[in-house]
């Protein structure tokens, strides 16, 4: 855009579950922002969403929404397999793009999206909303303030029992041709992106991915080791045939440590100088609204830059590609 707008009128491509509560209402509740159009290939479902959420217009054709002159910016909330195609089309129309995470199935697709946005001169944002959520800002501030000292080691663990779903009708998140992988890609990307935000880019990564259950074509057990630009080193385990459910990120520093879930709302636990404390930090009503507000602030000239862009999300895509490289080669 050549000049900031005073108000951003949003359109959404793909009004599925994520838009019902996590994101959609955030566009309506953010300052200087409104949701004016939605699209879904099933026109009846698009119309139903528009009616329930008070959205003036609905479409069953993406290009009609993209070229609606009253839509200033577009949020792409479809599965990852169509992110690159839609993002490139939105950018070609000269409109800012906000795309769901993971940004795309592969880093190559991410680069194509960035190239299209750069060529059109429009910004490209990605919905790694933990970068802006107050709960995660608390942990970020603990790290940046030096209260924990220098962060030396990191541990990420996300496990769950096997989902005994129908192997003939797998959700798209377990279909690599649509999602890029399995739950590691869908869930693990959140932790990896937030750690990139706080510790800097990953400079070295080694990973092993396997398919233990055979219930889908996607990896279901992943173990990886990382070294971040800050100098911290760490490991991650993502296992989806486990006896226990675990959800924890732990940062150990030279003065103290912090542990917290990536997805749950359990208290943030801090230990400094042998003294323990807990910080209560509930999720906002609409988890994407804080990031949406920062994006709107940037687009309207009231602040910025927003912390989650195509280039930051590309780094997470590159890490995921590196971790899954061996598994993907074996499956090819």
**Do 74 and 56 share a structural domain?**
yes
pLDDT band at 3 (very low <50, low <70, confident <90, very high): confident
The answer on 201 and 101 residing in a single domain is no
The verdict on 54 and 116 lying in the same domain is yes
Torsion, CA 281, CA 237, CA 128, CA 97, rounded to 10: -170
CB of 154 closer than 8 Å to CB of 91: no
The tally of CA atoms less than 13 A away on the side-chain side of residue 252 is: 8
Write the pLDDT tens digit of every residue in 23-47. Answer: 999 999 999 999 999 999 999 999 9
Q: What CATH number is given to the structural domain containing 12?
A: 3.40.50.720
Same domain, 104 and 138: no
For residue 314, tell me if it sits in a domain. Answer: no
Query: Does 170 reside within a domain?
Result: yes
Q: Cα separation of 80 and 127, whole Å?
A: 12
Q: What is the rounded distance in angstroms from the CA atom of residue 161 to the CA atom of residue 164?
A: 9
> Which whole-number Å values give the CA distances from 18 to 39, 111, 217, 287, 288, in the listed order?
14, 24, 24, 10, 10
Residue 317 included in any domain: no
pLDDT attached to residue 324: 98
> Do residue 138 and residue 279 come from a single domain?
yes
For residue 16, the enclosing domain spans 8-129+288-308
- Are 185 and 158 in contact by the 8 Å Cβ rule? The answer is no
Element (H, E) at 100: none
The per-residue pLDDT for range 5-24, each reduced to its tens digit, is: 999 999 999 999 999 999 99
The mean pLDDT value for 123-149 works out to 98
Work out the pLDDT band at 2, boundaries 50, 70, 90.
Answer: low
Q: pLDDT tens, 263-312?
A: 999 999 999 999 999 999 999 999 999 999 999 999 999 998 999 999 99
Weakest mean pLDDT among 112-121, 160-169, 279-288:
160-169
Alpha-carbon distance of 130 to 121, in angstroms, equals 26
pLDDT tens digits for 205-229?
Answer: 999 999 999 989 999 999 999 999 9
CATH classification at residue 277: 3.30.360.10
Mean pLDDT value across the chain: 97
Going by their DSSP bridges, the two strands 33-39 and 8-13 should be labelled as parallel
Residue 75 lies in a domain: yes
CA–CA distance, 216 with 223 (Å, rounded to integer): 19
Q: What is the DSSP string of 176-243?
A: HHHHSSSHIIIIIHHHHHHHHHHH--EEEEEEEEE-SS-SSSS--EEEEEEEETTS-EEEEEEESS-S
**277 within domain boundaries:** yes
The structural domain count of the chain equals 2
Cis peptide before 290, with omega less than 30 degrees from 0?
A: no
In a domain, 325, yes or no: no
pTM (two decimals):
0.96
Q: Record the tokens describing residue 42, joined without a space.
A: 């099933």
Q: Cα separations (Å) of 193 from 45, 86, 137, 332?
A: 32, 22, 14, 27
Q: Which of 295, 303, 318 is nearest to 33 (CA)?
A: 295
Q: What is the percentage of the chain residues whose pLDDT exceeds 70?
A: 99
> Mean per-residue pLDDT for 169-176?
92
What's the pLDDT tens digit per position in 50-105?
A: 999 999 999 999 999 999 999 999 999 999 999 999 999 999 999 999 999 999 99
């Amino acid at each position: 855009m050549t000049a900031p707008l005073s108000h951003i009128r949003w359109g959404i491509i793909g009004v599925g579950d994520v838009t019902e509560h996590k994101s959609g209402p955030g566009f309506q509740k953010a300052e200087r922002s409104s949701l004016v159009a939605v699209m879904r290939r099933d026109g009846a479902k698009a119309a139903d969403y528009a009616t329930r959420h008070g959205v003036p217009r609905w479409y069953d054709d993406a290009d009609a929404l993209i070229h609606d002159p009253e839509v200033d910016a577009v949020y792409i909330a479809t599965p990852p397999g169509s992110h690159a195609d839609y993002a490139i089309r939105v950018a070609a129309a000269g409109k800012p793009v906000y795309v769901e995470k993971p940004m795309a199935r592969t880093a190559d697709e991410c680069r194509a999206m960035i190239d299209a946005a750069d060529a059109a001169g429009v910004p490209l944002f990605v919905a790694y909303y933990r970068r802006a959520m107050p709960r995660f800002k608390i942990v970020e501030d603990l790290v940046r303030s030096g209260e924990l000292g220098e962060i030396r080691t990191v541990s990420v663990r996300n496990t769950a029992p096997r989902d005994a779903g129908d192997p003939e009708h797998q959700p798209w998140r377990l279909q690599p041709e649509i999602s890029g992988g399995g739950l590691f890609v869908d869930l693990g990307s959140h932790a990896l992106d937030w750690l990139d935000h706080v510790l800097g880019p990953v400079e070295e990564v080694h990973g092993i991915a396997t398919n233990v259950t055979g219930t889908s074509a996607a990896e279901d057990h992943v173990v990886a080791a990382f070294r971040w630009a800050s100098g911290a080193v760490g490991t991650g385990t993502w296992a989806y045939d486990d006896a226990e459910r675990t959800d924890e990120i732990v940062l150990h520093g030279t003065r103290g440590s912090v542990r917290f879930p990536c997805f749950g709302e359990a208290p943030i636990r801090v230990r400094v100088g042998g003294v323990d404390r807990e910080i209560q930090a509930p999720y906002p009503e609409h988890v994407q609204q804080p990031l949406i507000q920062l994006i709107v602030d940037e687009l309207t000239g009231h602040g910025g830059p927003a912390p989650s862009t195509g280039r930051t999300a590309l780094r997470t895509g590159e890490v995921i590609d590196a971790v899954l490289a061996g598994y993907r080669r074996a499956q090819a």
